[in-house]
Amino acid sequence: MSRDDHAPEISLATITITGPDAVAFAQSQLTLDVEGIDDTLLHPAAWCRPDGRVDAVLLVAVGHRNVSLVLPRSLAESAFKRARMYSIGRKVEIAAGPAVRGGGPTASAGECALALSCDSGRALILAELDNPDAAESAAWSLPADWLQADVDCGMPWILPETAGMFLPQMLGLEALGGLSYRKGCFPGQEVIARVHYRGRLTRRLAGFRLRASQPPVPGTTFELADKPAVILYAVARSGSNDASDGLAVVSTDVEDGAEFHIAGAEGALVSR
């Protein structure tokens, strides 16, 4: 059995927003300051509910009159419908995006290589929007080594099992540059800003290692120092048949090194 057989089923798909209002529309919807980002990189961001809870974590790329959103395919349909609904009155078109895959800093003709802002050593390859041969809505399944790198850099992918559970601060999006408190309004902005300026964050993102034959599934809950914690995702550790690394949302009162158990398997929080 290969290491990829022990990786969660996370496939990436894209949604494209084109038109004169594309950037302004994305600015009004996402936690990222879309108008101020480097257009040669993919940047993490969140799309939140009015109560501030995150419905999806995305990677965002900006062009002259287009925005590309890269997100788990399992959330793409709901995000597509939401974008269409909120785009009424805007001069934009919402469409299923071109094919996406992992790669290096160079791309073939008709493709665009965009490095990740949180990990410049990796890039996603997107077919160009004007490439008529681009395969629309094609999805790319993340291999284990890519997921391991996502864990290491703290990329907090949200899946259907964890959608609507956490504020963006709980997912470490500030550290990744994916949350701005100075941009204009976006869904959930008031709640998110209130927690930042007046409240106290009660949960945080943490890396963990678990001694188990298979990684825990996304959304698994467990007790850590008598406080509830939730698995975002995990992947089998390279070179090991009985260990996995992953990301979880835990209490801010719990420090790295804290030990826990999931279904009898031993684990501990680790520094990233």
pLDDT digits (tens, 9 = 90+) for 79-134: 999 999 999 999 999 998 877 888 766 655 557 789 999 998 899 988 765 554 44
User: Per-residue pLDDT averaged across 171-175, rounded?
Assistant: 97
Contact 179, 169 (CB under 8 A): yes
CA 20, CA 173: separation in Å to the nearest integer?
A: 28
CA 2, distance to chain mean position in Å, is 25
CATH number 2.40.30.110 is the correct assignment for the domain at 203-270: yes
The domains of the chain are located at 9-197, 203-270
User: Per-residue pLDDT averaged across 162-186, rounded?
Assistant: 96
pLDDT digits (tens, 9 = 90+) for 250-265: 999 999 999 999 999 9
Q: Retrieve residue 215's tokens.
A: 């990684």
Q: What is the fold of 9-197?
A: Gyrase A; domain 2 (3.30.1360)
CA 46, CA 224: separation in Å to the nearest integer?
A: 26
Contact 145, 85 (CB under 8 A): no
Q: What is the mean pLDDT of the chain?
A: 90
Q: Retrieve residue 88's tokens.
A: 């009424």
pLDDT band at 65 (very low <50, low <70, confident <90, very high): confident
Q: Write the burial class of residue 123 (CB in 10 Å: 0-12 exposed, 13-18 middle, 19+ buried).
A: buried
Q: Write the burial class of residue 243 (CB in 10 Å: 0-12 exposed, 13-18 middle, 19+ buried).
A: middle
Listed residue (149, 6, 145, 26) closest to 86, CA to CA: 26
